[in-house]
Amino acid sequence: MPTASLLTLAGQSVVIDCGLGVTRGLADQGFALKGLSAIVITHLHSDHYLELGPLIHTAWTAGLKMPVRVWGPTGLRRYWQGFLESMADDLAYRIHEEGRPDLAALVEILPLAVGGRVEIGPLALTAGQSLHPPLTETFALRFEGAGKTVVFSGDTAHNPELAEFAQGADLLVHEAMLAEGLAPLLARIGNGDGRLMAHWLRGHTLAQDAAAVARAAGVRALALNHLIPSDDPAFGPAVWAECLAPYWDGQLHIGTDGLRITL
């Protein structure tokens, strides 16, 4: 399924990106949806926020009554207003007939800025710039808390500067693609043209370049996510690991739905 991660440190949980399937994914991890309190969206591509509204709404019907803060690009406010508008009939029903709290008042949409530092309970979040043209509001995320550091690359082209941003992290979660898997994927998708291939090549990072960033950053573990391709049996975890072997000899996790990494 598309991109969504749950980070839990020092008793604070943060959902990072809300691609399709995030609600099911959190439930599968045993996460109580009514405990949702913090969400960060790295950029406004559908595979990172398509299910943001449905996640919050489902948490609300499951008992959410504490505030939820959502950080992300400035355009996120428009998405959330549109979601509330699209669900207006249901929201009015549940507030008036079921006694639910006003969902609009529970949720705060906050802009994230490169270099900005945000306190999320006991966690400190620093936002960095990722390279994902043509978008400009695209963020890498560095979380620190309980003596641990976890960095998410966000969607990004190869970005050597990320090595400084991720310096010394216990875990770097980096997006990755396999060059030899791109042409078969484009053929299989079938409704995009050369522009889709061009977007992959200028907006995403080859697995070996993700490994180079991890090495330069001196991180303890590397997890690859947002895999392109992600669902081609010809490019399973063994192929990814084999591709990475010459470039990374540290702890490696190849992302799959439900993968759990303990720090």
**Options 10-18, 65-73, 150-158, 210-218: segment touching Zn ion (CB under 5 A):** 150-158
Using the 8-state DSSP alphabet, how is residue 49 labeled? H
Closest CA to 254 of 193, 201, 211, 219: 211
CB of 168 to Zn ion, least distance (A): 26
How many CB atoms are located within 10 Å of the residue 117 CB?
11
Q: How far apart are CA 40 and CA 158, in angstroms?
A: 22
CB of 135 to Zn ion, least distance (A): 7
CB of 203 to Zn ion, least distance (A): 7
Which of the residues 214 through 243 are near Zn ion (CB under 5 A)?
none
Q: Tell whether residue 155 is a contact of Zn ion (CB under 5 A).
A: yes
Which of the residues 158 through 177 are near Zn ion (CB under 5 A)?
none
Q: Tell whether residue 204 is a contact of Zn ion (CB under 5 A).
A: no
CB of 19 to Zn ion, least distance (A): 8
Please calculate the CA angle 207-141-126 and round it to the nearest 5 degrees. 145
Q: How far apart are CA 165 and CA 131, in angstroms?
A: 13
Using the 8-state DSSP alphabet, how is residue 35 labeled? G
Total residues binding Zn ion (CB under 5 A):
3
Which residue(s) pair with 68 in the sheet? 107
Which of the residues 21 through 80 are near Zn ion (CB under 5 A)?
45, 47
CB of 202 to Zn ion, least distance (A): 12
**What does the binding site for Zn ion look like in residue numbers (CB under 5 A)?**
45, 47, 155
